A and B are shown apart, each in its own frame.
Chain A
């Protein structure tokens, strides 16, 4: 269980297709505990699919994934491994939290209730304790004064900060961020990125980030993986990937992104 000498996530020859479309192609990589990983690449390259698979929103066709030393998609059975049941997935999800591109807040609940619902329902945290923790998290994302508001009353950036607090309330070991600023107006991007910067500085959580914000990926990540067509084309420290990419495809991609106005 989760020794510091083993990777917290181990992805081993994972393949995934949607119909005839091959999204992941025998993909393998490890993530070290506490590591901040940025996944970049053209859309359709499979980077979001990896996050969705880790959050158990998509299944895998073949391969293995270990999270915190345990198989994510398999359990022992029949003298080997069989596909995981709902009970096992429930256990594994406790280790992982996710923030979505479109926030996915619960529109019928107040901000506070959005943050307290999951701990109260899935971890049996008493109400007072859940609310205390939620207020501390809302304070951290700068929205303590919005606790009683409904999501519809918030800006996009505020919604996304609530969504981050909501995911953190379950105290996961791993946080997945799926293009969390892509749906935001440009002037609201920074407030969300600031929260994530603080999170990266103040916690030792493992964070996986799919993003098109190259400047942010460069500041934030310990390691950058460049994806294309379901494979890792190139990986390394952000400085190397962004300043001195070795692969032609990485160079082409970065050139295009810069031309599109995402400065590095």
Chain B
């Protein structure tokens, strides 16, 4: 039993790495989602083209391949990345591409009449986006952002392939040392579920707080 608590400690250490990857990956994905989503709505052709290329590329290729590129190929062209950085980049850019479509879709689904009211009140296009459209669109983004964050959490498992000792990597160490298969994998099953539960409940809480007294579907 004392031995098992040592192994549990190993898995929990992996869990910390997974949480770190998830948090940093989500931060990058969040930034990329807004850059990509606003880029696709830009008036400037160049910005639209860059954003579209980014989104289509990262949605259209596998996260495994993107990770291998970040870790194995980039060093060959003189950009060596630590496994952790490569993992964060691949996850953030990949999920950010999905998020960008959420940002774009949510902004477009704010009723056109809100835009017209802004014109009638003489807001600049920045003021319109900042004070009127974005606060309403953000609430619409939240549920899908929550899904994306959970996708990212589950996606972190792929980094075990580039030798990061995350929560999926550690049970395999435990298993090879103890021969016990069920316990380590049951442990991470529960841990993944608990972490995703934290994500979904906090996003739902945020959503509830922001939409208080709000009739989101109609103006």
Contacts and interface: CB of A to CB of B under 8 A. Distances in A.
B214 A104 contact: no
Given A152-B215, A153-B213, A104 B113 contact: yes
Interface string A84-107: 000000100110111010111111
Contacts of B139: 108
Interface string B10-33: 000000000000000000000000
A180 interface: no
Nearest to B117: A104
Nearest to A99: B120
Interface stretch (A116-124, A131-139, A223-231): A116-124
Contacts of B117: 100, 104-106
Interface string B92-129: 00000000000000000000011011011111100100
A77 to B, nearest CB: 21
A108 B217 CA distance: 11
Contacts of A150: 213-215
Given A107-B215, A118-B122, A150-B213, A100 B131 contact: no
A93 B122 contact: yes
Sorting the interface of chain B by its residue count into under 10, 10 to 19, 20 to 34 or 35 or more gives 20 to 34
Interface of B: 113-114, 116-117, 119-124, 127, 131-132, 135-136, 139, 213-216, 218-219
A56 B117 CA distance: 11
A102 B112 CA distance: 12
A63 B57 CA distance: 47
A33 interface: no
A57 B213 CA distance: 30
A151 interface: yes
Contacts of B114: 104, 106
A23 interface: no
Q: Which 3 A-B pairs have the closest CB atoms?
A: A152-B215, A104-B117, A118-B121
A122 B124 CA distance: 8
A103 B219 CA distance: 8
B101 to A, nearest CB: 23
B121 A166 contact: yes
A100 B116 contact: yes
B122 A55 contact: no
Interface in A114-164: 117-118, 121-122, 150-153
Contacts of B116: 55, 57, 100, 104
Contact of B120 (A97, A151, A152): A97
Contacts of B219: 102-107, 151
Nearest to B128: A121
Contacts of B123: 118, 121-122
Nearest to A90: B122
A93 B121 CA distance: 8
9 contacts: A56-B119, A93-B119, A93-B120, A103-B219, A106-B117, A107-B214, A118-B121, A121-B131, A122-B122
A94 B123 CA distance: 10
A170 interface: yes
A211 to B, nearest CB: 18
A163 to B, nearest CB: 8
A107 B136 contact: yes
A98 B121 CA distance: 8
A55 B214 contact: no
A151 B121 contact: no
A170 B31 CA distance: 36
B125 to A, nearest CB: 8
Given A90-B124, A118-B123, A122-B122, A107 B131 contact: no
A234 B219 CA distance: 36
